């Protein structure tokens, strides 16, 4: 490592005095103007990680659904998954090291991880549409350059697209081609094949319309690029495309989910199917309003349910021994868990918030469907399941079974298995709705959500709250869980939990009950207990 060069360049990306940041659930996130040194240093870390794994590593510059003034960065591991927890630690140490400590911290990482500095390295870089992202990604490149690493800058891409590129590159093209063209072609081919298997849409209209709120972000650009690959049966209409308004401002998947109301900038007629992406297009929620102007949100739980129904019907025909499960977090609506377990007889597992926990658990099954209620999710197919499905699709003599296997095969190709992907999920959902002849109302009616409320409170130190049982119970401070238990008992069909946020300096409160008034009241009472 050329420490002289590092010493010379590092002051060009100075760390603001006293600033300490943490690599959180989805990397570093804060105001963009505080992140230049972090970006530069993540360039270093990506090179070291690439050498340590002898694989290509990704660096994505984005702050997802956060305000336009924020930014963030996260590293992507070789199979397109989130960064290894040990390296999250290193990332924090490196980001917070004072100038004169940099050499020591880097040497320690190299020693602990036995990094061979003579090895080659390759880093893929991507960024969202924030005004600050271009300059910040240039700082990542500066860091890579100083360590003599190779890089490829994909420029403007969605987060899931960069995860996809990293996975393609490290599997020597087995997962697909590591280009945007390759991504669009793979998804479009699978989507067109699936749509072909659908009978004409139940509405009688030969075209299916979908209105998309793009959160004024990257999703709009990428959907425009992809549109020419779509079959003519599907017509998408883009709103909040970033040409007029600010990123994530009063729109996007997070806004719609949290406020349970439509985004600004999308004119919605009764019973029209609409959806919202978030700022880096890794989340999606659907919604519509009925003829009485009542807003219906179809969140990640209902997406998971729709996908599970579809997959289960096919798996029963193709190969009954394949084990399917759904992975959720504590935020999953109680009605969804109940429907999946009791009506569908699908095992459901609850894990801690954050994609890496869901992804990890879903890997245990032949078919692991995971979704957070906020709309982030995907489906993972084990190697064994994929091999079996492809074999049946090719060799099976019975037409019905072979057709079912072919649908599953196309689903495998259509879903982005590296991470939740709003564009890929949207195509999966559109295909399933078309294949099942479902309207958005029929989908919504699968089960009725329990009324719920999400609140956040500011406390002196959110880390004093310790949780267990996949964040559903608190173990600290003493007495808090007993208070919550007593409050929950006051309401029918109720449930409540609190957890420290992994992305903001706040504590989140979630409550569910038989009526909206009760859910609101319970959430409020729990928030008072937290203070």
Query: Could you tell me the sign of the dihedral formed by the alpha carbons of 463, 468, 473, 475, in that order?
Result: negative
Q: Closer CB to ligand 16G, residue 79 or residue 177?
A: 79
Cα(107)–Cα(109) distance, integer angstroms: 5
| 501: partner contacted, choices ligand 16G, Zn ion, none (Cβ within 5-8 A by kind) | ligand 16G
Shortest spacing between CB 151 and ligand 16G, in angstroms:
22
Give 82's DSSP letter. B
Of the candidate residues 215, 355, 432, 484, the single one contacting ligand 16G (CB under 6 A): 355
Other Cβ atoms less than 10 A from the Cβ of 206: the count is 9
Residue with tokens 């709250």: 465
Closest CA to 215 of 268, 314, 132, 285: 285
The interface partner of residue 372, options being Zn ion, ligand 16G, none and the CB cut-off 5 to 8 Å by kind, is ligand 16G
Cβ closest to Zn ion, residue 10 vs residue 64: 64
158 near ligand 16G, judged by CB under 6 A: no
Which string of x and - marks every residue 381-400 that binds ligand 16G (by CB under 6 A)?
--------------------
- 28, 306, 376, 500 from 24: Cα distances, Å: 6, 31, 17, 12
Distance CA 263, CA 42 (A): 34
- Is the omega angle on the peptide bond into residue 477 within 30 degrees of 0, that is, cis? yes
Asked if 422 contacts 283 with a C-beta cutoff of 8 angstroms, the reply is yes
Instruction: Output DSSP code: residue 149.
Output: -
Stretch that binds ligand 16G, among 34-42, 193-201, 399-407, 497-505 (CB under 6 A): 497-505
> Does the protein bind ligand 16G through residue 354 (CB under 6 A)?
yes
508 touching ligand 16G, by CB under 6 A: yes
Whether residue 526 contacts residue 484, with contact meaning beta carbons closer than 8 Å, is answered with: yes
Partner interacting with residue 280 (select from ligand 16G, Zn ion, none; CB below 5-8 Å by kind)? Zn ion
Catalytic residue status for 64: yes
Min CB(152)–ligand 16G separation in Å:
22
Q: What part of residues 220-239 is at the interface with ligand 16G (CB under 6 A)?
A: none
Asked if residue 414 lies in contact with residue 480, where contact means CB atoms within 8 angstroms, the answer is no
How many positions of this chain bind ligand 16G (CB under 6 A)?
14
| In contact, 345 and 316? CB cutoff 8 Å | no
Judged by CB under 6 A, the residue of 193, 501, 520, 524 near ligand 16G is 501
x-or-dash string of contact with ligand 16G, 310-349, rule CB under 6 A:
----------------------------------------
Based on CB atoms, which residue is closest to ligand 16G, 102 or 166?
166
Q: How far is the CB of 167 from ligand 16G (least distance, A)?
A: 15
What is the C-alpha end-to-end distance of the chain, expressed in Å? 49
Q: Which stretch binds ligand 16G (CB under 6 A): 177-185, 228-236, 472-480, 502-510?
A: 502-510
Given the residues 64, 121, 137, 139, select the one marked as catalytic.
64
Under the criterion CB under 6 A, does residue 503 sit at the interface with ligand 16G? yes
Shortest Cβ 501–ligand 16G spacing (Å)? 3
Cβ-based neighbours of 394, under 8 Å, separated by 6 or more:
none
Distances from the Cα of 316 to the Cαs of 252, 311, 396, 417, in angstroms? 36, 9, 15, 22
355 binds, among Zn ion, ligand 16G, none (CB under 5 to 8 A by kind): ligand 16G
Residues 6+ apart with CB under 8 A from 259: none
Q: CA–CA separation, 257 vs 76, rounded Å?
A: 26
C-beta closer to ligand 16G: residue 49 or 356: 356
By CB under 5 A, name the binding residues for Zn ion.
Answer: 64, 278, 280, 282
Half-sphere exposure of 144 (CA within 13 A, CB side): 28
Please list every residue from 62 through 101 that binds ligand 16G, using CB under 6 A.
Answer: 64
Distance (Å, whole) CA 17 – CA 529: 36
Q: Say whether residue 417 binds ligand 16G (CB under 6 A).
A: no
Give the footprint of ligand 16G on this chain (CB under 6 A): 25-26, 64, 353-355, 372, 374, 376, 501-504, 508
Enumerate the active-site residues: 64
């Amino acid at each position: 490592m050329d420490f002289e060069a590092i010493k010379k360049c590092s002051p060009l990306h100075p760390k603001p005095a006293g600033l300490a940041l943490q690599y959180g659930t989805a990397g570093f996130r804060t105001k963009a103007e505080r992140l230049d040194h972090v970006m530069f240093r993540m360039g270093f870390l990506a090179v070291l990680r690439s050498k340590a794994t002898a694989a290509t590593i990704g660096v994505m510059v984005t702050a997802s659904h956060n305000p336009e003034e924020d930014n963030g960065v996260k590293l992507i591991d070789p199979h397109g998954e989130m960064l290894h927890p040990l390296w999250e630690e290193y990332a924090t140490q490196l980001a917070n090291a004072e100038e004169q400590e940099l050499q020591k911290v880097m040497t320690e990482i190299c020693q602990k991880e036995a990094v061979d500095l003579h090895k080659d390295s390759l880093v893929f870089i991507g960024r969202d549409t924030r005004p600050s992202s271009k300059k910040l990604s240039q700082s990542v490149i500066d860091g890579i350059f100083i360590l003599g690493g190779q890089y490829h800058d994909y420029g403007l891409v969605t987060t899931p697209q960069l995860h996809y590129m990293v996975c393609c590159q490290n599997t020597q093209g087995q997962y697909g081609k590591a280009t945007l063209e390759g991504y669009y072609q793979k998804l479009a081919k699978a989507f067109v094949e699936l749509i072909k298997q659908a009978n004409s849409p139940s509405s009688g209209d030969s075209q299916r319309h979908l209105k998309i709120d793009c959160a004024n972000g990257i999703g709009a650009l990428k959907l425009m690029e992809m549109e020419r690959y779509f079959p003519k049966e599907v017509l998408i209409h883009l709103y909040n495309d970033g040409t007029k308004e600010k990123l994530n401002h009063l729109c996007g998947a997070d806004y719609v989910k949290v406020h349970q109301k439509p985004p600004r900038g999308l004119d919605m007629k009764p019973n029209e199917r609409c959806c919202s992406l978030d700022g880096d297009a890794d989340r999606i929620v659907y919604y519509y309003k009925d003829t009485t102007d009542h807003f219906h949100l179809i969140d990640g739980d209902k997406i998971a349910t729709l996908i599970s129904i579809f997959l289960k019907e096919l798996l029963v025909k193709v190969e009954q021994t394949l084990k399917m499960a759904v992975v959720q977090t504590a935020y999953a609506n109680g009605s969804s868990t109940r429907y999946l377990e009791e009506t569908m007889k699908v095992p459901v597992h609850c894990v801690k918030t954050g994609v890496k926990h869901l992804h990890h658990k879903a890997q245990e099954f032949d078919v692991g469907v995971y979704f957070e209620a906020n709309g982030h999710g995907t489906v993972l197919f084990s190697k064994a399941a994929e091999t079996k499905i492809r074999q049946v699709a090719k060799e099976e003599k019975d037409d019905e079974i072979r057709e079912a296997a072919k649908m599953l095969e196309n689903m495998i190709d259509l879903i982005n298995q590296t991470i939740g992907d709003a564009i890929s999920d949207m195509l999966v959902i559109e295909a399933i709705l078309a294949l099942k002849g479902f309207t958005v109302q029929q989908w919504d009616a699968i089960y009725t959500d329990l009324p719920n409320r999400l609140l956040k409170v500011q406390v002196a130190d959110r880390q004093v709250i310790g949780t267990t049982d996949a964040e559903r119970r608190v173990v600290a401070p003493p007495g808090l869980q007993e208070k919550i238990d007593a409050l929950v008992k006051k309401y029918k069909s109720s449930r409540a939990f609190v957890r420290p946020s992994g992305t903001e300096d706040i504590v989140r409160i979630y409550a569910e009950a038989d009526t909206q008034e009760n859910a609101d009241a319970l959430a409020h009472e729990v928030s008072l207990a937290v203070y």
